[in-house]
Structure 1
Amino acid sequence: MGRGFRRLAILAAACFAYGTFIEPYDFRVRRARLKVLPAGAAPIRVLHISDFHLVANQRRKRAFIRALAGLEPDLVVNTGDNLASPDALAPLIEDLGRLLDVPGVFVFGSNDYTAPRPKNPLGYLAGDTSREGVHADRQQLPTEELREALTSHGWLDLNGKRGELELRGLRVEFRGTDDAHLNLDDYRLVSGRPARGVDLAVGVTHAPYSRVLDAMTADGLRLILAGHTHGGQVCVPGFGALTTNCDLPPRQAKGASRHHAAGRRSWLHVSAGLGANPYTPFRFACPPEVTLLTLVPGSNG
């Protein structure tokens, strides 16, 4: 009994060390192809970035972000939670570098409004931790400075807004919501069918709550991109995520899947993100990542 307990303790310690000191720095690029474009269209390379939770002294994460421009995407989609401290804004903009010269769109998550704070790491496994609005008792982040930095480079602010870009000769319409995890989303601001003549309609949101996904799918959007889940952050090898910190099923915690609503279906892509709350920097069986999506012609059926 004593020997078995010691072995279990050694295994637990090894898993904790791996999840704290190794996997959080095993940054990866996920690649996927989605058939969402009209026949004959040229492929569109979309870099989906999310959940950096950046702190200025995170040298390895910053180096990875700086290298992303080498992927040469046609579009960057940023689904929020960029910052973990106010002094991370300047490093973030510096590290995005040449990506800011690429057409881009963005929405915000809670960690674009207020900084994270220490909390029980097991609380994440308890279920949805959503709250109502931006709380004044938390350290405020430079939200408007971040918005200005991104929009000044031509990126579209999709927080409760629509916008359009021409990409590889296609007319692409975007719509987004502010953070549903903070209950800041109001889909009525962007609801309705895509505009006439649009080749592809895309939805963007930080937290993939069903109320947002259902509304976007019902309106005929072919692709929805989100973040927030950290891919489950702590996963069981061979099983997957235990939670998504929202009402999205754990099996859809990261990567591409289908979402069904109102007799329609959309592609949903959820980014597992690059970071975590700096007070709980633990990831297990869920490496930090960005995704390079290649959109190609094909049926959405």
Structure 2
Amino acid sequence: MKTWVKAAAGMVGLGLSGLTYGVVEAHRFVVRHLEVPVLKPGSSLLRVLHVSDFHALARQKDKRQFIRGLADLEPDLVIDTGDNFCSADSLQPLLDDMAGLLERPGAFVFGSNDYLAPSFTNPFTYLLRGRSRAPEKPVPELPHEQLRQAFTSAGWLDLNDKSGTLEVEGHRLAFRGTDDAHHHRDHYEKVAGPADGEASLNIGVTHAPYLKILDAMIGDGMDIVFAGHTHGGQVCLPVKGAIITNCDLDTDRVKGLSQHSSGGRTGWLHVSAGVGSSPYAPYRTFCRPEVTLLTLVPRS
């Protein structure tokens, strides 16, 4: 066999092996645990469960089981940063699986895949561009208003270009959020302004962590910002990690806890790698699907 044929066969084999591994990895759900020194000195602890990017389908039995089990973590607060479901017939199964979480205090924003069903994107084009784009052809709209109604009926704060407060375990929490920036639905000016000086904590929530939003929120005095959307890079490399972030955030902060500075202020940023992915790209490499339980503790 010629050398180039052997090389081509080797590359194909490597690609198939990587794809197989990626499909397996996409089902290795994990709960991350982090501690964040963000509360005022002398405050009691606050346990926040950050969930994002379920991209739920009714047929995904193992993912559904994982979501159902999250209520057993008994968080004080749930923050959902969007892209919850992929099809209209997935809505009620998702709400059934989230029933335990919906009994807890919560806040949410939407991502693009709460509004529109996912569509196929050439993965090679996506990797070259560094981010996905809005679909060029019409795609089905998802029943997002039913999802919104279910969340708000449970008492969760709708933070899509809105602000609000919650009393949680003796803490007065002030929130502000934006609608999905990835498809240009965000209007931060609707919630912009100084932080709430009477609040125990000022929290920003957005789906896609574009720098313009992070800069604005931290510059206005948010103590911590929660986001999703990136899938942690989804297709990552050993050692190097993420190749792209699907926004203008740097790859070093594509997931997990970091800090962000703007306007002379510095705050915390937590980006969730999320639980799911598009049904057209059901794989992950070196990036397990996750939720994070953050224990907020007093600053030293």
What is the one-letter code of the residue matched to 2:262? Answer: A
Q: Out of 106, 109, 112, which is 2:111 matched to?
A: 109
What SS does the corresponding residue of 1:181 show, helix, strand or coil?
coil
What is the one-letter code of the residue matched to 2:15? Answer: A
Provide the C-alpha distance between the structure 1 equivalents of 2:262 and 2:144, rounded to a whole number of angstroms. Answer: 33
Give the drift of 1:42: 1.0
**What is the aligned partner in structure 1 of residue 225 from structure 2?**
224
* CA distance 1:220–1:130, change in 2 (3 Å): farther
- Flag structure 1 segments of 5+ consecutive residues without an equivalent: none
What is the one-letter code of the residue matched to 2:80? Answer: N
2:25 matched to 1:18? no
Aligned pairs (5 A) from 1:131-146? 131=134, 137-146=138-147
Provide the C-alpha distance between the structure 2 equivalents of 1:111 and 1:92, rounded to a whole number of angstroms. Answer: 14
Provide the C-alpha distance between the structure 2 equivalents of 1:143 and 1:185, rounded to a whole number of angstroms. Answer: 16
2:272 matched to 1:289? no
Give the drift of 1:121: 1.7
**What is the aligned partner in structure 2 of residue 9 from structure 1?**
12
Provide the C-alpha distance between the structure 2 equivalents of 1:7 and 1:211, rounded to a whole number of angstroms. Answer: 44
Taking only the aligned residue pairs, the percentage that are identical comes to 53
Whether the 8 Å CA contact 1:130–1:246 is kept in 2: the answer is no
Aligned pairs (5 A) from 1:128-277? 128-131=131-134, 137-277=138-278
Provide the C-alpha distance between the structure 1 equivalents of 2:168 and 2:281, rounded to a whole number of angstroms. Answer: 39
Provide the C-alpha distance between the structure 2 equivalents of 1:235 and 1:286, rounded to a whole number of angstroms. Answer: 6
CA offset digits 1:151-199 (Å, max 9, x no partner): 0000000001111111221111000000000111111110111223111
Whether the 8 Å CA contact 1:172–1:202 is kept in 2: the answer is yes
Aligned pairs (5 A) from 1:49-68? 49-68=51-70
Of 158-167 and 117-126, the range deviating more from structure 2: 117-126
What SS does the corresponding residue of 2:36 show, helix, strand or coil?
strand
Of 10-19 and 253-262, the range deviating more from structure 2: 10-19
What is the TM-score normalised by the length of structure 2?
0.95
What SS does the corresponding residue of 2:99 show, helix, strand or coil?
helix
CA offset digits 1:173-227 (Å, max 9, x no partner): 0000000001111111101112231110000000000010000010010100000
Q: Out of 74, 77, 80, which is 2:76 matched to?
A: 74
What SS does the corresponding residue of 1:42 show, helix, strand or coil?
coil
Please, what is the CA RMSD of the aligned residues? 1.5
Give the drift of 1:122: 2.0
Provide the C-alpha distance between the structure 1 equivalents of 2:136 and 2:95, rounded to a whole number of angstroms. Answer: 25
What is the one-letter code of the residue matched to 2:61? Answer: R
CA offset digits 1:85-137 (Å, max 9, x no partner): 11111011000011101000000000000000122122331223344xx9881
Provide the C-alpha distance between the structure 2 equivalents of 1:86 and 1:284, rounded to a whole number of angstroms. Answer: 28
What is the TM-score normalised by the length of structure 1?
0.95
- How many positions carry a matched residue from both structures? 296
Provide the C-alpha distance between the structure 1 equivalents of 2:244 and 2:17, rounded to a whole number of angstroms. Answer: 23
Provide the C-alpha distance between the structure 2 equivalents of 1:38 and 1:196, rounded to a whole number of angstroms. Answer: 12
2:123 matched to 1:121? yes
Provide the C-alpha distance between the structure 2 equivalents of 1:242 and 1:51, rounded to a whole number of angstroms. Answer: 19
What SS does the corresponding residue of 1:88 show, helix, strand or coil?
helix
CA offset digits 1:40-73 (Å, max 9, x no partner): 1111110000001111111010000000001000
Give the drift of 1:266: 1.0
CA offset digits 1:235-260 (Å, max 9, x no partner): 01111101111000011110001111
Provide the C-alpha distance between the structure 1 equivalents of 2:122 and 2:78, rounded to a whole number of angstroms. Answer: 33
Of 65-74 and 258-267, the range deviating more from structure 2: 258-267
Provide the C-alpha distance between the structure 1 equivalents of 2:245 and 2:225, rounded to a whole number of angstroms. Answer: 17
What is the one-letter code of the residue matched to 1:100? Answer: L
- Flag structure 2 segments of 5+ consecutive residues without an equivalent: none
What SS does the corresponding residue of 2:100 show, helix, strand or coil?
helix
Of 239-248 and 11-20, the range deviating more from structure 2: 11-20
Q: Deviation above 6 Å: which 4+ runs of structure 1?
A: none
Provide the C-alpha distance between the structure 2 equivalents of 1:169 and 1:49, rounded to a whole number of angstroms. Answer: 23
